[in-house]
Amino acid sequence: METEGSISAAEASAALAATRSSRARVAWAGYPAWYWLLTGAGLGVLSVALLLPKGWALAAVAVTAGVLVGLAWAASRARGVCEYWTRSAMRWREVVALYGPVAVVLLANAFVARYASWSPFAAAALVFLLFAGTGLLLSARAARR
């Protein structure tokens, strides 16, 4: 049905809310649980890679990065949503909520690992929990919208 005449501010506001809801559902809904779990594990591996000798560490990071890209591609196929490489349906604050804590833990681990041998393993577990937990939570919330 076409709309006719002028619309009120309340109607415009409701329309904008509907667009935000649709965008959020596209950004978060439909991700398979394995994507959050495997990507969280992959990011955790990055913190443990510090324990390896320099050359092996670089190789491990490169392989893990390749696996993470592959996981993102497979999840995209499973979801039926093809996003751009440089931008996605997620808002910046959502990207920060998802990757920010992980980045902080990885950076902190890079310093602490020099003094505490347990740090990379604790960081790996924390990164996994933060990423998988946030992803699963926000994904489930978007599906309920």
Partner 1 sequence: MSPAHSAEDTTAAAEDGFDHLIHAPARLRICAALEPVREIEFGTLLSVLGLSKSALSKHISMLADAGYVAQRRAVRDTRQRTWLHLTESGRSAYQGHVAALRRIVGDA
Of 18-77, which residues contact partner 1 (CB under 8 A)? 18-23, 25-27, 29-30, 77
Q: Is 112 in the site for partner 1 (CB under 8 A)?
A: no
What does the alpha-carbon distance between residue 124 and residue 109 come to, in Å, rounded to a whole number? 9
Q: Is 9 in the site for partner 1 (CB under 8 A)?
A: yes
Binding residue (CB under 8 A) for partner 1 from 51, 81, 112, 136 = 81
Binding residue (CB under 8 A) for partner 1 from 54, 55, 80, 92 = 80
Residue linked to tokens 């510090």: 50
Binding residue (CB under 8 A) for partner 1 from 53, 54, 55, 82 = 82
Residue linked to tokens 């599906």: 143
Residue linked to tokens 């929990």: 129
Three-state helix/strand/coil letters over 122-141: HHHHHHHHHHHHHHHHHHHH
Find the Cα–Cα–Cα–Cα dihedral 46, 139, 37, 59, rounded to 10°: -30
Stretch that binds partner 1, among 33-41, 82-90, 119-127, 129-137 (CB under 8 A): 82-90
Tell the smallest beta-carbon distance from residue 126 to partner 1 (Å): 30
Stretch that binds partner 1, among 11-19, 31-39, 58-66, 130-138 (CB under 8 A): 11-19
Q: How many residues are present in the chain?
A: 145
